[in-house]
A = this chain, B = another copy of it.
């Protein structure tokens, strides 16, 4: 394995991560081997379970690229405890492999808290960054925005939010080729004092930051696309994200009720379903390819627990994109150039 082709992107995929692991991960791996020769993919996880899926699905994948990990962290496991109790988990093994310089990126659809914790402690934080952050792409009327933080941490001090803003500016700039992404601070009113002490202080820090700070925004601005980066703490971000993700399911139920009223309604809903499926495609997280954990020393991509093979493939491609664009190196350079004050 040490004989990696240096021109290739070496990426570790956690095969035991998602709700449908290792099946969806193995299918994605087969797809990547076939269609992306520039990627040198490594799988971590239960070798026997992985090979069983390969045999069943007729997928060929180089055996040498499977790194056995005897343990699996479940979705319900408490992150810190699980990492201690399961030192040979696919997440720890994969992160260590990257930390030792054998690969450039780690990708997982597993327990988010565990991936955040393992990445932070095993890959290591970027010097000057107190807290890593995790954002999500969100479609809006104008295209796409990102929302930071969506659950790496439930509360944030102004200084943390400033850090998220600085890191996400580089991330969005590189990924979307957007020279100066516009940042909005999520609160309950446009005035700078609306939202209390934390918002007021963060507003002040952002104003003086040299970043492209638009000002305060409200909940309605997220889908409107008023800004490119929506800034909030992980508590609010996670609630908004999960609420947003539940909207298509809600629409489906409303339409079902409508269809049940008459045969004529039923026929109309058939058309509506097809159109909505097409029109709502921008909402489909599968195409966004997971999110980069910002603030750690290597690329760490975190995906949805229910990731499909397509979503997992796109997560690996996102990792490749981040390696290619040297996002981590650029964040390190920006923070080193203008270090952040540590809080307390």
Query: Contact residues of A with B, CB < 8 Å?
Result: 140-141, 151, 154-155, 186-188, 194-196, 218-220, 222-224, 232, 234-236, 238-247, 249-251, 253-255, 257-258, 265, 268-269, 271-272, 274-276, 278-280, 282
Contact = CB atoms under 8 A, between A and B. Distances in A.
A226 to B, nearest CB: 11
Contacts of A251: 251, 279
B188 A151 contact: yes
A282 B274 CA distance: 22
B275 A258 contact: yes
B235 A222 contact: no
A164 to B, nearest CB: 16
B235 A223 contact: no
Given A188-B151, A272-B276, A275-B272, A196 B246 contact: no
Contacts of A223: 243, 246-247, 249-250
Given A243-B244, A254-B279, A235 B272 contact: no
30 contacts: A154-B188, A186-B239, A187-B239, A188-B238, A188-B239, A195-B235, A196-B235, A218-B238, A218-B242, A219-B240, A219-B241, A219-B245, A219-B246, A220-B246, A222-B243, A222-B246, A223-B246, A223-B247, A224-B249, A224-B250, A235-B236, A251-B279, A254-B279, A254-B280, A255-B275, A258-B275, A268-B275, A271-B272, A272-B272, A272-B275
Contacts of A154: 188, 194-196
A186 B218 CA distance: 19
A175 B255 CA distance: 27
A238 B218 CA distance: 8
- Give how many copies assemble into the complex: 2
Q: Is the interface of A mostly helix, strand, loop or mixed?
A: helix
Contacts of A255: 275, 279
A3 to B, nearest CB: 43
Nearest to A265: B275
B195 A219 contact: no
B196 A219 contact: no
Contacts of A280: 254
B242 A240 contact: no
B242 A239 contact: no
Q: Enumerate the 8 nearest inter-chain pairs by beta-carbon distance, A residue then B residue, closest first.
A: A219-B242, A219-B243, A219-B239, A223-B250, A220-B246, A258-B279, A188-B238, A220-B242
Given A250-B140, A258-B279, A272-B276, A188 B155 contact: no
